Structure 1
Amino acid sequence: MNFKELKLNKPIVRALFEKGYEEPTLVQERAIPVILHKKDIIVSAQTGTGKTAAYALPILQLLFDKQDAPKKGKKIRALIVCPTRELAIQIEENFKVYSAYTNLRTGVIFGGASIQPQKEMLKKGVDVLVATPGRLLDLHKQDIVNLDYVETLVLDEADLMLDMGFIDDVKKIERLCPDGKQTLLFSATMPYKVELLANSILKEPEYIEVSPTSSAAKGVHQVVYYVPKPKKIELCLHLLRNNIKGSVIIFRRTKYGVDKLEQTLLRNNYKAVSIHGDKAQSLRQQALNEFKKGEARILIATDVAARGIDIKNVDAVINFDIPNIAETYVHRIGRTARAGASGAALSFCSADEKAYVKDIQQLINLAIYVEEEHPYPLDPKAKPEVHKKKGSKHKKGRKSEASKKKKKRWY
């Protein structure tokens, strides 16, 4: 199937062609026709499956078919609400690319940045507004944002918005929009609280599930290193020097941990940048741009700061801290091996994180290969037994002849 068969108009197809899009992804193929029929929809899809285009393309199509207003005096007819500043910027960039040959205008508003330029942009008028909840409600209180003409409301990364405490804001935003609007809910996971939200605001939605979160990305070579917590930095430096080539995203659980690791890597002459919630928006965007352009080889991030960001050609992901939520592990390793490429996911597990590895293996139904040949092994007495219990559903991993030999492993 191609994009023409999805009944997208020539200006949008032309923009997709110039961007190098050849065929729709599965989530695009399944969601676009439903959205074009103006039905509410719930989509469960991981990051990297093409979900932004899955709602952006049909929204632009519907707006294009009805556009009759000049650039001045435009009303907000499509509203996309998402949890983080970085994701909002990325979504706006995608809308601008897809609508390059239309008369449609997109704008973005988010906190942590000067409010005046956003006010000026809104006064000029936009067809599509991408927003984070707090700044959107702030500008609505100031009578700068008018949601009376919204035809389509998108809640993107709904699970993360609820995790970040935005549920009341999301419900308020939904109530500020017209009753007859179309509502599209996209979420990487479908916990009970997301289902409750969906049931309360969507009308007879169609449910689409693509690449369920319990499945690890294909092409990712997963390895776990059992290591004492104080030795994780030494192991990280060892792997960066001897094993890992290319670009790397390193995940840490806390903002303090991100800053500490960044300082250590910089002292060791690695070009590293970082993003977390306490950094100014301009610094976060600068760090992302440097990493995307290859000016920095290493990006260190917390999960919230990195969620939903599309970064291509990441060679490896390091879980410096094992996530205590198994689904988060799947999100993290999905940053590499995108679009059919291969990549590595390396996890550093200390004694107090053993249970997290067990939960992850149960979720993905796969034994993660344990690398024992490294300079900082965990005390064997503290090492957990993994994927060896009788009756386990985990797939038994076997070492190949090559892996049994002592040699450098290049990821």
Structure 2
Amino acid sequence: MPFITTNPALARALAEREYNNPTPVQLAVLAPEASDRDLLVSAQTGSGKTVAYGLAMAETLLGTAEHFAPATAPQALVVAPTRELALQVQREFAWLYAATGARIVSCVGGMDARAEQRLLNQGAHIVVGTPGRLRDHLERGRLDLSALRVAVLDEADEMLDLGFREDLEFILDATPPERRSLLFSATMPRGITALAKRYQRDALRIEVASAEGGHADIEYRTMRIAPTELDHAVVNVLRYYDTPSAIVFCNTREAVRRLHAMLQERQFSAVALSGELSQNERNHALQALRDGRARVCVATDVAARGIDLPNLGLVIHADLPNDAESLQHRSGRTGRAGRKGVSVLLVPPFRRRRTEDLMRGVGITPTWSGPPTADDIRKLDHERMLVDPLLADDPSEEDAAAAQTLLAAHSAEHLAAALVRLYRAGLPAPEEVADPGEPRNVRDRGTQRDFGGPSGESGSTWFRLNIGRRNNADPRWLLPLICRRGNVTRKDIGAIRIFDEETAFEVGLAAADRFGKAVRKADGADVIIEPLPGGPSGERSERPARGKPLRGKPPHDKPHHEKPSYEKPFRDKNFRDKPAQAKSADGKPAFGKPAYSKPAHGKAAHGKPAFNKAREAMPSDHSAGERPPKRERPSTFEGKPKGKKPRPS
């Protein structure tokens, strides 16, 4: 189906580029009901939005005319979030408007502002730029928007996310109110809707989606990796898919530098793309990918919007994106214009839940697997070698003559082995990686850590860590440290016993070899992990793996997680013993106070107790439990009769 456009010059340009089948978004903006109206368009990234609004602008700027009038003030303005996207729009417009005589000027950060000023003074029909540089030209009086007829915001939601709302409002306020506004974006958050209500008039809402969904051409893969094997996993994924070009996304510039250096060291033709590079460096990097001189681009999210690279078949998320929209736009660099692509997320065990939330946000059910192994890659290399054009194509006469000379000097097996070595020498070597495995079920948490007896002879191996109770060791941060250093998961770790100077822990036999190799690679670190033959000593003072530390030394015949109970003896400051309370015949406590036994004390002449004399004065025949008889005292004192004191007369 040919393009439905009223401009013959643009129709010829599309035919030369073999644009015979318009995309759904291009058909929507060229529909009769969208003619000369403000448009609010959301469509899948990579669906041809640039050509779509280029054709929509032509209806307003040219109509049926084939040529522009001499350039004076700009008639159209396109605002893009990044420099790369703005320059890409300029390249697309260059061939689309080539036969119309249009002067297209770019104004982006990182380029010479004085050169842009000279181009603007010479006149321009279309200006393409980033918000910051366009506002700078407006404030300095270099850009005149009084004659503007069309304003386009490309990837408007990304510009709001990057903090360009104030710049966009400043630019749109400087445009004539009767101009036509076109807003194109892959997503439509609330901020874009508010911006459209303020600056658009009776806008036509166009939402285009594929019949199979927005990700029909992209295959999403989520791969479990060990936290310390990220670089090796990236290498193996690149080797496994072997696409003409690929992008590896990182969240920080430092991660881009490190991963880029690693890939170059392993014989990958890689370039870096981040915000710290100059515009010329970024242009050279993208041009190397387009020319085929580079195969891999390591980039931050600056390359996640609007970058269209030919034959880009693979996107690797070395760092997880911040939200579902970033995941969608990162992955949208592949699977463009009907081509198939693969988007791979490398997920350590502690990022699994976040990954599932991200995939749920874009409406994708993840397919979990381990990273490609070295054996898988070698098998694929063998299959690719058999279908390589060097072997499949017929040799020339010169090649055949050279082959006869080699066969005369060497055997066919020797030459075949040499061919295999030459083929493999040009490929980066695959890495040995491990699959952390599926996370354990919550119901099985209590049973999967029971590896065996205390010495580990029936299913586990013990290791020691040079951190103990005196270093404030706690299982809450020891367990993640052990998993990270040993490339294992929580289900592979058994009991953790913390002593004064060290910590002993057990690792299941299924992961013991992998754990031992991983900790040996980390020699020289402050935290030392080494095998502990025979397990921890039973005489050491330990505390439980979880909970508060115990005071004192728990008994060894009880599990270490049980707190020993202590009986507090009864002490009374008044009585030496306290017999059990008397009970009645029916077994219930009898009322009244218990009968306490209190020995009788004699007193000396000075009034203090005389214990020995009191015991000697006790009769020998009194029954047990009875109080001894009281000593008789004189009823009267000497010379004074007993009774009331006589009243004085």
Instruction: Please confirm whether the aligned pair reaches a TM-score higher than 0.5, indicating the same fold.
Output: yes
Deviation at residue 364 of structure 1 after TM alignment: 3.7
Letter in 2 for 1:312: P
Of 322, 325, 332, the match for 1:324: 322
Aligned length: 381
Q: Distance in 2 between matches of 1:58 and 1:300?
A: 35
Summarize the alignment of residues 20-39 of structure 1 with structure 2, pairs less than 5 Å apart: 20-33=18-31, 37-39=35-37
Q: What is the match of residue 342 of structure 2?
A: 344
Q: Verify: 1:54 aligned to 2:52, yes or no.
A: yes
Q: What is the match of residue 15 of structure 1?
A: 13
Deviation at residue 336 of structure 1 after TM alignment: 1.8
Deviation at residue 215 of structure 1 after TM alignment: 4.2
Q: What is the match of residue 2 of structure 1?
A: 2
Of 84, 87, 94, the match for 1:86: 84
Q: What is the match of residue 378 of structure 1?
A: 436
Instruction: Single out whichever of 157-166 and 341-350 deviates more from structure 2.
Output: 341-350
Deviation at residue 26 of structure 1 after TM alignment: 0.4
Q: Verify: 1:205 aligned to 2:203, yes or no.
A: yes
Summarize the alignment of residues 160-175 of structure 1 with structure 2, pairs less than 5 Å apart: 160-175=158-173
Which structure 1 residue ranges, 5 or more long, are not aligned? 386-411
User: Larger relative CO (CA 8 A, sep 6+): 1 or 2?
Assistant: 1
Residues 107, 129 of structure 2: 8 Å contact kept: yes
Calculate the TM-score normalised by the size of structure 2: 0.56
Q: Distance in 2 between matches of 1:132 and 1:100?
A: 23
Letter in 2 for 1:74: T
Q: Distance in 2 between matches of 1:359 and 1:306?
A: 20
Q: Distance in 1 between matches of 2:442 and 2:297?
A: 30
Deviation at residue 311 of structure 1 after TM alignment: 1.4
* Distance 1:201-1:269 versus aligned 2 partners, 3 A rule: same
Instruction: Single out whichever of 80-89 and 306-315 deviates more from structure 2.
Output: 306-315
Residues 36, 62 of structure 1: 8 Å contact kept: no
1:131-172 residue CA offsets vs partner (Å, 9 max, x unmatched): 111111111122110010111111110000000000011011
Letter in 2 for 1:90: Q
Secondary structure of 2:99's counterpart equals: coil
Secondary structure of 1:197's counterpart equals: helix
Of 234, 237, 245, the match for 1:236: 234
* Distance 1:70-1:201 versus aligned 2 partners, 3 A rule: closer
Of 177, 180, 205, the match for 1:179: 177
Deviation at residue 236 of structure 1 after TM alignment: 1.2
Residues 274, 301 of structure 1: 8 Å contact kept: yes
* Distance 1:108-1:230 versus aligned 2 partners, 3 A rule: same
Secondary structure of 1:315's counterpart equals: strand
Q: What is the match of residue 277 of structure 1?
A: 275
* Distance 1:29-1:287 versus aligned 2 partners, 3 A rule: same
Deviation at residue 333 of structure 1 after TM alignment: 1.9
Which structure 2 residue ranges, 5 or more long, are not aligned? 374-432, 444-649
Q: What is the match of residue 257 of structure 2?
A: 259
Q: What is the match of residue 286 of structure 2?
A: 288
Residues 152, 182 of structure 1: 8 Å contact kept: yes
Q: Distance in 1 between matches of 2:33 and 2:257?
A: 42
1:278-323 residue CA offsets vs partner (Å, 9 max, x unmatched): 1100000100010111110101111223311111211211111121
Provide the alpha-carbon RMSD of the alignment. 2.3
Secondary structure of 1:101's counterpart equals: helix
Q: Distance in 1 between matches of 2:154 and 2:242?
A: 33
Q: Distance in 2 between matches of 1:99 and 1:35?
A: 24
Residues 83, 160 of structure 1: 8 Å contact kept: yes
Q: Distance in 2 between matches of 1:324 and 1:355?
A: 14
Q: Distance in 1 between matches of 2:357 and 2:265?
A: 35
Give the 4+ runs in structure 1 shifted more than 4 A: 66-70, 379-385
Secondary structure of 2:312's counterpart equals: coil
Residues 9, 66 of structure 2: 8 Å contact kept: no
Q: What is the match of residue 247 of structure 2?
A: 249
